[in-house]
Amino acid sequence: PAGVPDTKFRKIGILGAGFMGAGIAYVTAKAGIPVVLLDRDMDSAQKGKAHSDSLVSDQVKKGRAKPEEKDKLLSLITPTADYADLAGCDLVVEAVFEDSAVKKAATEQAEA
């Protein structure tokens, strides 16, 4: 809106590396913004990043992206299970499992 300055994000955190969280990580990295993709364990976080790898690999195969674009996009996504890695995020998006207790716990840990 008029009179409102643009917001520039330097780093975005995503709680939950499932289908929704992984998709948000992909579009955020595609926009050139570093992403911290957090899930309950490192295997789950890595699976979320693998979703982006799959998407961008398809684009490379079809000639719609270059291998170096794939490398850059994947370098922007940091999978983790450590809430401390959210330090410095300008925005944190909650995309965890649809259970209010899980959402509450994840949000409280991220806020801390």
How many angstroms separate the CA atoms of 75 and 60, rounded? 16
The model's pTM is 0.92
Output the pLDDT for position 28: 98
Give CA–CA dist 81/96, Å, rounded: 13
Give the C-alpha separation, 14 to 39, whole Å: 9
Backbone angles phi, psi at 37, to 5 degrees: -105, 105
Both structure tokens of 22 = 């992984």
The CB density around residue 72, as the number of other CB atoms within 10 Å, is 15
Q: How far is CA 91 from the centre of its chain?
A: 11
The domain ranges of the chain are 12-111
- Give the model's pLDDT for residue 58: 97
Band the pLDDT of 45: cuts 50, 70, 90: very high
Round the average pLDDT of the chain to a whole number and report it: 96
pLDDT exceeds 90 at position 1: no
Topology annotation, domain 12-111 = Rossmann fold (3.40.50)
26 Ramachandran zone, left/alpha/beta (phi>0; psi -120 to 50): alpha
Q: Which residues contact 91 (CB under 8 A, 6 or more apart)?
A: 9, 12, 13
How much is the pLDDT for 47? 98
pLDDT tens-place string over residues 51-74: 999 999 999 999 999 999 999 999
Is residue 101 over pLDDT 90? yes
